Amino acid sequence: MRPSPPPLLRRTAIALLAALAAAVGVTAATESRAAAAGVEDEGVSCPAPALPDAGALPTVTRLPDPFKRLNGTRITSPADWRCQRNEIKKLAEKFVYGEKPAKPSSVTGTVSASTVTVNVSHNGRSASFSAGVELPSGTGPFPAVVVLGGFGADTATIKAAGAAVIKYDPYAVGREGTGRANKQGAFYSVYGSNSTTGLLVAWAWGVSRIIDVLEQSGGSILRGDATGVTGCSRFGKGTFVTGAFDQRIALTMPIESGTAGVPILRGVPGEGAQSLSSAYGEQPWLGDAFGSFTGSPTRLPVDTHETVAMIAPRGLFIMDNPHIANLGPRSASVAALAGAEVYKALGAGGNITYWSDVQDGSHCANRAEWREPLRQNIQRFLLNTGNQAGVMRISSRAAGNLAEWRDWTTPHLGASPSSSPSTSPSSGGSCSTTYTAGQQWADRFNLTVNVSGGGNWVVTVTAQSPQYFQNSWNAATTLSNNNTVLTARPNGSGNSFGFTVMHNGNRTWPAISCLIA
């Protein structure tokens, strides 16, 4: 087995990849390679934002603009997103979830083929917990998916795809059934039983400490640089928050999370979902400060579409159930659609999937419709062996309308790809391509492809759902797969050709590959 690089070298390499991606842009086929960060929180070096006072918050009926800074200006480049995300994080901590502390002063533990142990010490307090491990067949080291709570997740498909399963009991870190002034579990043993941080962030903190131990282990069994997280129902809520608050997590997969999970807080009261006051009172999932907003979510300066945005540009696969109104699936689809605008602005529109188009209405059932996209997401974001772009498969039973919820536009942050080299089979040669942006309209845009490296090239361009190709010029082209795949060959017009993309709201440049015939 090839040993993994030391955590510091690995984090440095990932940071360099991320910086390169921000500078030159990436296609869907390579977005996942640099999507996960090498640190838990990239925003720690950002200036501390001046957060508003709870008593001075205005009523805003539509979703807050995720591209607007607290000072009222809008971000204009991908480089701005790091500190913009930090502002969103601080708002979410103050008003919704409670604060997630930084890494404790001491985290140690062990990793075996059956168990991960975690020992934490901070400011004279300590706590320990452990999680079970199930390995897939084959030879490691393996990427791992942390499964919260042990039900609802399709662990068979996860392992069949080549990832290990870490069986994490969130109650060991933050117990349910306690009062807000007497919270229990490993998190509260370290930070105090009267901490104002809710269980969802406590559970997220526990996953982060597991990742710390994986990184320290050297990666001989489980890789610390390829981690996913999933869980259903209340553990879907925890999964969602966990992925948002740790940027080392490459793939976040909440299942049927309901109120306090993915659904926009502003939409819950009008959908017949579990009420905000009920979710706040059922368990201390949310931070204590959220109690002031259960009857007035329109006063919140943040909403869950921005929690979605905190995960961007990393992999996100949201699984939802349109058959149970109490779960707020319509509001969840709005959160996904609005958060996807940030993915698109960052040039990573293919990194998010929302799927509620399912037949079985049972809560937390393993569904055949999710099996293949689950496998594809694991291959793409944890194994780096796939490039299938994400999709929005929203059931007509619970389809939200983003236009009703936003009055802001999505900026183009300049994160378009510049080149995407592709190597042909060994019998041929290689060629490379660059994109040049052309005219853009409200519903479509033009791109020109410039080919270098050989005269007998074949270029394949794959649209990002829900895009499709309308027309092309200066090449011999064919369309397939409902006009979503364009194959181009030279027709004597030179080594440049163009096409029109009907974007249907997804302005991400299509994926592209080139080989010599």
- Active-site annotation holder among 323, 363, 412, 418: 363
- Active-site annotation holder among 4, 208, 217, 233: 233
CB 90 within 8 A of CB 44: no
| CB crowding 116-146: b at 16 or more within 10 Å, else e | bebbbebeeeebebbbebebbeeebbbbbbb
Report the distance separating Cα 424 and Cα 422, nearest Å: 7
Report the distance separating Cα 201 and Cα 170, nearest Å: 10
Return the SS3 of 374: helix
Please state, as a whole number, how many other Cβ atoms lie within 10 Å of the Cβ of residue 278: 14
Within 13 Å and on the Cβ side, how many CA atoms surround 476? 7
Give the DSSP H or E segment for 8. helix 7-24
CB 32 within 8 A of CB 247: no
Residue 113, both tokens:
């083929």
Q: Establish whether 503 is a catalytic residue.
A: no
Q: How many residues make up the chain in this entry? A: 517
Greatest extent of the chain over all pairs of C-alpha atoms, in Å: 76
Please state, as a whole number, how many other Cβ atoms lie within 10 Å of the Cβ of residue 456: 12
C-alpha distance from residue 390 to each of 119, 229, 386, 430 (Å): 37, 17, 12, 27
Let me know the angle formed at the C-alpha of 268 by 265 and 274, rounded to the nearest 5 degrees: 115
The amino acid occupying position 327 is: L
Q: Residue 516 forms beta bridges with which residues?
A: 457
Report the distance separating Cα 238 and Cα 261, nearest Å: 8
CB 301 within 8 A of CB 50: no
Q: Establish whether 296 is a catalytic residue.
A: no
CB 141 within 8 A of CB 215: no
Give the DSSP H or E segment for 206. helix 199-216
Within 13 Å and on the Cβ side, how many CA atoms surround 499? 31
Q: Residue 440 forms beta bridges with which residues?
A: 445
Give the DSSP H or E segment for 513. strand 511-516
Residues with a catalytic annotation lie at 233, 363
